[in-house]
Structure 1
Amino acid sequence: MAKYSTGNSSGGGGGGSCELCGKTTDSLTEANVAGAQLNVCRNCASHSDTTKSERKKRAEPSERDRKRRAAQQTAKMDDARKGDASHWEEEGTNYADDPLPYLVSDYGDRVLEARQDAGLQRGELADELGIAENDLLAVEQNRANRASVGGSVIEALEDHLDVTLSESA
């Protein structure tokens, strides 16, 4: 059974008994549990509403940390693009011949549901249609426009999965 503090403890990290479970330990940490400040053992520290490490994590990230995370995200995006750059080099980016139609608002959900109903993995469907898996992922995530997916991809998905993705004019 859990013990609760009456405010008279020998805690502060110098040793003693955990005020939550009663375990004797040399390593206690201060924790806020259900509004009470308690000195708890390492195992009970997870019950804390706010621990020192959580307060530190919640602190505003430094400018350096933000820049580092942004650079890491950019590197990830660059790495993802490297594997799929060949079709741009070979085919070019002539969107006048392959414009993206106006898409219904839930086009990504429709494609995802139809693909899953057909029992296909994303890679399998992309291979069957001869399209890049990244383009299919972009469609499923409702980012076809931002990812510069061509209208031919939308048409192929509509035909193969028997779904309506574009709005009729």
Structure 2
Amino acid sequence: MAKYSTGGVGGDSSGACELCGAEDRDLQTATVAGARLEVCSECAHHGEEPDRKKSGKRDDQRGESRKKKAAQNVAKLSDAQKVDHDWEEGTDYEDDPLPYLVRGYGDVLEDARQDAGLQTDELAAELEIEEDDIVAVEQGRAARANVGGSVIEALEERLGIELAEE
């Protein structure tokens, strides 16, 4: 069964963990994000109040389904926090905030870079910044890519353009 499966929706018990889908494990009832689920011992830490007895009272199927979905999302987020990301190291974005950018800033950068006869990798090497940051700015997704203000300043200075609003 797929990870984060809800197993048997409603009152049916499939014998599988309703968060990770693991089968052939001892299950316990736990409340996760407001939903009462049958979970294995490995997923029990996601629960708010694990207990061993089943609830006699059930929400309607639609409400229970929503609660199970929320519980799965909580589990996914918790698992994702355990992953070590490269972007967590390096630039401290609180100390290097992205300024407000002018409308069409991506096109402005791309045109200026091309006018200078540079490829994204060449510009990145020259400025000693990540090529991915330049690509993100050109694609208009600087904020989503967590591009720092120092990158914007370096691009403006090198290409003689204005990307940030004053």
Calculate the TM-score normalised by the size of structure 1: 0.46
Identify the structure with the greater helix proportion. 1
Determine which structure has more spread, i.e. the larger CA radius of gyration: 1
Calculate the TM-score normalised by the size of structure 2: 0.47
